[in-house]
């Protein structure tokens, strides 16, 4: 930390100004060939003001300590995990094989890039999620008669319901549900991971969708957030900062897992060529949302350099800075007191602390 501070404190005033911080960002955000990524001045200024807690335009050494520990060090030395989502028999060649869906993707295509990453990329942790449905699960089209459809549902007669319809069950609570063929039934062949998928010796399996009354696309939460899996707890216990998400289906379970990973504060990367989906438009919408929320969509051949900290993307740096901002207490000047500590995010607090 001391060496970094000294290197960028060019005017030796024991503080980092915006020009010095700009030089730091250019050194920090570089691709694996050492070429800096382009960042506009406003983006850099916004990052600077997150760590310039006093808002005086000069990052003190005390402020820099937090910037170093909470931001720079994690960017340079990320702790990574891969989350392989639902690479199960039923989604590849079984009852819900995605090759029969609108996008026409072949589920088998995820195997080569995932296996290659498992062989060549030094992920710190490995997780595998599995749909694990009871036979009476709410998502199965053959079970639609088991629950009362709400008056506002697109279909109110169970006999009219077909696969891929979206209906509303009366509950309580009311549940909006896409109807799928029976799939990934607990202990069945279709619920097993594909036999050609490599499973890391220390890999952990996470089971989801076991509550018959609610579906669970994400590997973190069920669709109504009534309950959560053990995944977040395991990831936080291992100190992971970066999550690489891939598998089946891109626009459903992979995307939902990525959205929740971002929401939970992790730097999140969806590996495009290691995922296959159902609807082309929904796949693109998922990519756009991930990028908008400061996540990243990349190719498997880009992953190793990022995991090793040699390829450092500004998007992920911005995401991490936003997470840092949530834990910083910013001073708020007012006429009654020189400084009042205010938790950032309070509607009365200026984000720049001025």
What are the extents of the domains in the chain?
Answer: 2-77+313-343, 80-132+185-307, 141-179
- Residues for the chain: how many in total? 354
pLDDT at 255 over 90: yes
Confidence of residue 346 (pLDDT cuts 50, 70, 90): very low
The answer on pLDDT for 353 being more than 80 is no
- Sole residue written with tokens 């607090």: 349
Give yes or no for a contact between 262 and 268, defined as CB atoms under 8 angstroms apart: yes
Question: What pTM was computed for the model?
Answer: 0.91
> What's the pLDDT tens digit per position in 126-172?
999 999 999 999 999 999 999 999 999 999 999 999 999 999 999 88
Active-site residue, from 125, 161, 184, 208: 208
Residue 86 known to be catalytic: yes
| Cis upstream peptide for 64 (omega within 30°) | no
* Per-residue buried b or exposed e for 274-308, using 16+ beta carbons within 10 Å of the residue's own CB: bbbbbbeebbeebbeebeeebbbbbebebbbebbe
Residue 134, pLDDT score: 98
The pLDDT tens digits for 79-121 are 999 999 999 999 999 999 999 999 999 999 999 999 999 999 9
Helix (H, G, I), strand (E, B) or coil at 289: helix
**Distance, first Cα to last Cα, the chain:** 27
> In the predicted model, what is the mean pLDDT of the chain?
92
Q: Of the given ranges (226-230, 269-273, 327-331), which has the lowest mean pLDDT? A: 327-331
Q: Is 330 exposed, middle or buried, given 0-12, 13-18 or 19+ CB atoms closer than 10 A?
A: buried
Question: Which is the catalytic residue, given 253, 279, 311, 319?
Answer: 253
CA atoms within 13 A on the CB side of 324: 28
Q: What is the 3-state secondary structure (H, E, C) of 11-65?
A: CCCCEECHHHHHHHHHHHCECCCCCECCCCHHHHHHHHHHHCCCCCCCEEHHHHH
pLDDT at residue number 331: 65
- Least confident piece of the model among 50-64, 123-137, 274-288: 50-64
Residue 351 — very low, low, confident or very high, per pLDDT cuts 50/70/90? very low
Look at the domain 80-132+185-307 and name its fold: Rossmann fold (3.40.50)
Give the integer Cα–Cα distance in Å for 17 and 196: 54
* Mean local confidence (pLDDT), 299-312: 98
Catalytic residue among 86, 222, 242, 311: 86
- State residue 167's pLDDT score: 98
CA-to-CA dists, residue 103 to 107, 177, 249, angstroms: 11, 21, 11
Tell me what the mean pLDDT of segment 276-293 comes to.
97
pLDDT at position 336 is: 43
* pLDDT recorded at residue 329: 73
Q: What is the mean pLDDT of residues 181-195?
A: 98
- The per-residue pLDDT for 338 is 38
Stretch 244-266: mean pLDDT: 98
Peptide bond before residue 4 is cis, with ω within 30 degrees of 0: no
Q: Is the pLDDT of residue 318 over 60?
A: yes
Is 161 labeled as catalytic in the residue annotation?
no
For residue 257, what pLDDT is reported? 98
Cα 156 versus chain centre, distance: 36
Fold of 2-77+313-343: Recoverin; domain 1 (1.10.238)
Q: Annotated catalytic, 282? A: no
Are 295 and 270 within 8 A, CB to CB? yes
What is the Cα 95 distance to its own chain's centre? 28
Structure tokens at 213: 């009354």
């Amino acid at each position: 930390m001391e060496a970094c501070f000294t290197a960028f404190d060019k005017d030796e005033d024991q503080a980092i100004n915006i020009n010095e911080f700009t030089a730091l960002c250019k050194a920090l955000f570089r691709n694996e060939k050492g070429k800096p990524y382009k960042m506009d001045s406003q983006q850099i200024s916004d990052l600077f003001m997150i760590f310039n807690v006093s808002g005086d335009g000069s990052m003190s050494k005390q402020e820099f300590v937090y910037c170093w520990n909470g931001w720079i060090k994690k960017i340079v030395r990320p702790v990574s995990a891969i989350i392989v989502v639902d690479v199960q028999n039923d989604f590849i060649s079984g009852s819900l094989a995605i090759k029969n869906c609108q996008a026409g993707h072949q589920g088998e295509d995820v195997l080569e890039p995932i296996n290659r990453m498992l062989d060549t990329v030094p992920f710190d942790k490995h997780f595998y999620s599995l749909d694990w449905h009871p036979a009476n699960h709410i998502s199965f089209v053959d079970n639609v008669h088991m629950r009362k459809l709400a008056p506002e549902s697109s279909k109110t007669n169970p006999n009219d319901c077909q696969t891929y319809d979206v209906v509303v069950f009366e509950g309580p609570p009311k549940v909006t549900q896409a109807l799928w063929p029976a799939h990934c039934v607990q202990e069945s062949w279709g619920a097993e991971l594909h036999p050609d998928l490599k499973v890391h010796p220390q890999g952990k399996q996470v089971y989801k969708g076991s509550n018959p009354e609610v579906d669970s696309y994400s590997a973190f939460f069920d669709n109504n957030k009534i309950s959560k899996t053990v995944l977040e707890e395991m990831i936080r216990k291992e100190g992971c900062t970066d999550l690489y998400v891939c598998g089946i289906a891109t626009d459903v379970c992979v995307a939902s897992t990525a959205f929740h990973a971002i929401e939970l504060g992790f730097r999140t990367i969806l590996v495009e060529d290691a995922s296959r989906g159902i609807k082309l438009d929904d796949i693109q919408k998922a990519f756009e949302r991930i990028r908008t929320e400061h996540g990243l969509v990349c190719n498997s051949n880009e992953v190793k350099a990022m995991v090793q900290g040699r390829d450092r993307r500004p998007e992920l740096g911005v995401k991490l800075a936003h997470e840092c901002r949530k834990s910083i207490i910013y001073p708020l000047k007012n006429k009654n007191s020189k400084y009042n500590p205010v938790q950032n995010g309070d509607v009365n607090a200026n984000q720049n602390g001025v």
